[in-house]
Amino acid sequence: MNKVINTENAPKAIGPYSQAIKAGNGMLFISGQIPVDPKTGNVAQGITEQAEQVLKNISAILKEAGYTFNDVVKTTCLLNSMDDFKAMNEVYAKYFTQTLPARAAFAVEKLPMGVLVEIEAIAYKD
């Protein structure tokens, strides 16, 4: 059975989707997170700050579901520009330090609210 995961410590969904879904088989699917501070609703400025906020949001969802970054098996990073890849990657490396997930990174034409980065994640644990 699937369970909706929702926390006040990550931004509310801005459309018809859930922050995350925990599938009955130990899988956790986290919707793409953008750099919105859940307390203020403000968007962080600059790629480093935005990547940091995105990963804080993912951390809050993981925690709410009972998972950690070590349980993440796959991420997809969407960037407004591949010129921001290095800066995003430096922040990303602070959060993924032990079990490094598989990952894809793409530049896209536009992201919601004009942000520079969005990251989605899939986690698994027995």
Would the pTM count as exceeding 0.85?
yes
Four-CA torsion 79, 82, 88, 90, nearest 10 degrees:
160
Instruction: Provide mean pLDDT across the span 112-124.
Output: 97
Q: What is the pLDDT of residues 35-87, one digit of tens each?
A: 999 999 999 999 999 999 999 999 999 999 999 999 999 999 999 999 999 99
Q: Are 72 and 27 in contact (CB under 8 A)?
A: no
Statement: residue 95 has pLDDT above 90: yes
Q: With contact defined as beta carbons under 8 Å apart, do 75 and 119 qualify?
A: yes
Q: Domain spanning 3-124: which CATH class is it, in words?
A: alpha beta
CA–CA distance, 86 with 6 (Å, rounded to integer):
31
CB 57 within 8 A of CB 33: yes
- Residue labelled with tokens 């010129």: 83
DSSP 63: H
